[in-house]
Amino acid sequence: PAWFDSPDDPRVWERVDDIPDAELWRVHERRRERMVAAVRTRLRAQLGRRGAPPAEVRAAEEVLDPEALTIGFARRFAPYKRATLLFRDLDRLRALVSSRERPIQFVFAGKSHPADGAGKELIKQVAVVCNRPEFRRRIVFLENYDMALARTMVRGVDVWLNNPLRQHEASGTSGMKVPPNGGLNLSCLDGWWPEAYNGDNGWAIGDGRLFDDLTYQDHIESESLYTLLEREIVPLFYDRSADNIPRNWVRRIKNSLKTICPAFSMHRVLKEYQEGFYHPAAQRYGALTAQDFALARSLTAWKRRLRERWHNIRIVQVNTDTPGVLKVGDALPLRTSVRLGEISPDDIAVEAYYGPVGVDGRIMGGQKTAMRHVEVGANGEHVFEGAVPCGRSGRYGYAVRVVPRHADLIDPYTQGMVAWG
């Protein structure tokens, strides 16, 4: 109850455990049967449009098995999505789809951009494999992929396959739509899947490593895909209890529902935007425009004064009492003298910026820590103190900088005013 109204509440999805395994599996099987029936109907129409012989059109009634493990692959056919990764070893694929005791089948669908020749070539390669006699009843490619077909597939497949080249997948929303429908994801660790995968709510292809040789990358990950299918996915699906229910498979479905559904929904996204951005922005708009834009005028005047005087800022000296050896858990003390001219120390913040040093001598992935104002020296220079935490071992560097500070300034770094030591 209430899952539709509160899809981002984990407590709602915990109730999945209360659903009897037999009931959940029975519903999923009916949805797979409906998908197979819909695929046959579309395939008949597809063959008819091509002018296929009547015997071939009639044979479309026999493609796919309503009770077999069904894997779906449907998306835009861009080269980086590697639609043909499954076809790198056709002998292993043939053994998988031709098994009488533990059959497996695939439904492909998708389109390429009209100007994407490489994408069209991928579709051609998939179609060629689908038309081979040994694969014709077990691997199907459907044309004219649209929202209706996507809905049919995510409702009915057992597994959703996604194998993009790593660091190319922006998100992967098709995979997010599968768990609420009782399907499981089989994906490379790219896009959304590294955040969602926990080892018990789907499967990961490969271990996330990147290789310079893309052919070798394809080889490694296709081997991982075949091995997962042969040793884990197929055995788990066909491991049935006395009442013909794959209990461990259903347990994985429930884990997928509980862990993925509350986290990956537009309801959660919009709530976070509203709480983190829209509502604060509305409050800020109200504050800036109140009393004939009094705050906006004051903040603008402050920025103008600071910009006119910013050139006078100088970080005169940075000192540190560096011990002989810094160990993890220590802190590196810093003391710096800053010449501010006519600028008040209340209008600036002094920060230590630190991080690991790359081969080019630059700080990589730096972090900041604030330094506090401690005194004004005899020469009028302001003294600030702070410390750089040594949280990890390695070669690190630091620098000191001055940035604007104001209670109503959202981001000091957008003003174009930073003075480095």
Inter-residue contact 205 to 221 (CB < 8 Å):
yes
Q: What is the pLDDT of residue 159?
A: 98
Element (H, E) at 45: helix 21-50
**DSSP-based three-state secondary structure for 263:** coil
Q: Which two tokens stand for residue 12?
A: 């709602």
CB atoms within 10 A of CB 26: 11
CA distances from residue 10 to 2, 246, 249, 292 in whole angstroms, order as listed: 12, 25, 21, 45
Q: What predicted TM-score, i.e. pTM, was given to this entire model?
A: 0.77
Q: What is the pLDDT of residue 224?
A: 95
Q: What is the pLDDT of residue 166?
A: 87
Distance (Å, whole) CA 114 – CA 119: 9
Q: What is the pLDDT of residue 94?
A: 94
Inter-residue contact 184 to 252 (CB < 8 Å):
yes
CB atoms within 10 A of CB 6: 14
Q: What is the pLDDT of residue 246?
A: 97
Q: Can you state the percent helix, strand and coil of the chain, rounding each to 5?
A: 45, 20, 35
Q: Which residues pair with 375 in a beta bridge?
A: 383
Distance (Å, whole) CA 256 – CA 186: 12
Tell the burial category of 317 from Cβ atoms under 10 Å away from its Cβ (0-12, 13-18, 19+): middle
Q: What is the pLDDT of residue 312?
A: 93
Question: Low-confidence residues of the chain, pLDDT below 70?
Answer: 323
CA distances from residue 367 to 122, 328, 383 in whole angstroms, order as listed: 44, 17, 22
> What stretches of 298-339 adopt beta strand conformation (E)?
314-319, 331-339
* Backbone phi and psi for residue 400, each to the nearest 5 degrees, phi listed first: -110, 140
Torsion angle, CA of 314/316/321/327, rounded to 10 degrees? 30
